[in-house]
């Protein structure tokens, strides 16, 4: 595939630890829409294979993978297993995993290398905590996470960056538009410095994106889409967010 010259828009849903078989009807509803931009759903591992069968044009991704190809890692899943199940993407370094599973920038980077070797597109998450924000450290934190978590093999075709302020996830709170703009501009600047196709990486915002605030967020420069948690679980909520992105 030729290298992209400008970022592709992506509406990504992270179902987290939500969804039994009945939730596949939401995927049916999304697959039946005329979406107008790339859509990705990352269901729990148990639904990956059936989700692929229900997804139509919608891409399906995992929510994590191990850095090793295989071996004695009880409860883990490899990038090749995700690919084998029909996934095209994997979320890495989500703040819930950084917090609950002690993931570091180095471990996220190792997972990203494994995912790229398996042919997956990575959605690498970063974002500051509320304490870091209050201390005025947001840009320093995201720069460190970007440098540490994104491997040298990253390209605009195999890597998406998601800025998710930890304090905005599931809280109904979001940064100001200026704050989002500042972070995304810095992410773009650093990607352009490091990668020859840095201008074409898709940059997502995540954290309390809803149908009511999506359009305003998508109008911000360098915001190419969203990584959505709660509002991705129902097609009735995620559909309007997809439409807002397609229109932006
Ligand atoms: O963590 C998120 C997506 O990965 C965001 O979750 P919410 O959209 O529920 O705030």
Residue 209 CB–ligand 1 contact under 6 Å: yes
Say if 4 falls within a structural domain.
no
Q: Which of 89, 94, 116, 222 is catalytic?
A: 94
Q: Which pLDDT score is estimated for 2?
A: 54
Q: pLDDT band for 60, please (50, 70, 90 cuts).
A: very high
> Helix, strand, or coil here: 245?
helix
Asked if the structure places residue 81 within a domain, the reply is: yes
Q: Is residue 205 one of the residues assigned to a domain? A: yes
The verdict on residue 148 lying in a domain is yes
pLDDT of residue 4: 61
Domain membership flag for residue 70 = yes
Q: For ligand 1, is residue 243 a contact (CB within 6 Å)?
A: no
Q: What angle do CA 232, 128, 228 make, to 5 degrees?
A: 5
For residue 233, give the CATH number of its domain: 3.20.20.70
Q: For residue 24, is pLDDT > 60?
A: yes
Average pLDDT, the chain: 97
Exposure b/e, 64-80, CB count within 10 A at least 16 = b: bbbbeeeeeeeeebbbb
* pLDDT confidence band for 3 (50 / 70 / 90): low
The answer to whether residue 235 is domain-embedded is: yes
The pair of three-digit structure tokens given for residue 37, joined into one six-digit string: 């931009």
pLDDT of residue 100 exceeding 90, the answer is: no
The response to whether residue 227 sits with its C-beta less than 6 Å from ligand 1 reads: yes
Tokens representing residue 54 in the block = 């229900």
Res. 214 pLDDT band, cuts 50 70 90: very high
Write out the residue range of the structural domain in which residue 14 sits.
10-247
Do 94 and 63 form a contact (C-beta atoms < 8 A)? yes
Q: What pLDDT score was predicted for residue 148? A: 98
User: Does a structural domain hold residue 1?
Assistant: no
- Count of CB atoms situated within 10 Å of the CB of 210: 16
Domain count, the chain: 1
- Check whether 16 is labelled as a binding-site residue: yes
Whether 174 is in a domain gets the answer: yes
Please name which of 66, 71, 146 lies closest in space to residue 112, comparing C-alpha atoms.
66
Instruction: Tell me what pLDDT residue 5 has.
Output: 80
């Amino acid at each position: 595939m030729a290298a992209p010259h400008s970022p592709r828009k992506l509406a990504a849903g992270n179902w987290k630890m939500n969804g039994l078989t009945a939730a596949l009807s939401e995927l049916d509803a999304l697959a039946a829409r005329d979406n107008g931009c790339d859509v990705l759903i990352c269901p729990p591992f148990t639904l990956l294979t059936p989700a692929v069968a229900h997804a139509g044009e919608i891409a399906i991704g995992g929510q994590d993978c191990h850095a090793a190809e295989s071996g004695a890692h009880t409860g883990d899943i490899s990038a090749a297993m995700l690919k084998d199940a029909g996934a095209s993407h994997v979320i890495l370094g989500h703040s819930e995993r950084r917090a609950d599973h002690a993931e570091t920038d180095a471990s996220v980077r190792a997972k990203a290398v494994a995912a790229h070797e398996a042919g997956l597109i990575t959605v690498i998450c970063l974002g500051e905590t509320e304490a870091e924000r209050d201390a005025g450290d947001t840009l320093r934190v995201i720069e460190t996470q970007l440098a540490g978590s994104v491997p040298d093999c990253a390209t605009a075709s195999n890597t998406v960056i998601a800025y998710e302020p930890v304090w905005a996830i599931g809280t109904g709170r979001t940064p100001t538009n200026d704050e989002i703009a500042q972070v995304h501009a810095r992410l773009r600047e650093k990607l352009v410095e490091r990668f020859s196709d840095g201008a074409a990486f898709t940059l997502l915002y995540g954290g309390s994106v809803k149908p009511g605030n999506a359009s305003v967020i998508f109008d911000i420069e360098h915001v190419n889409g969203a990584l959505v948690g709660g509002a991705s679980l129902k097609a009735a909520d995620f559909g309007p967010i997809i439409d807002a992105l397609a229109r932006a």
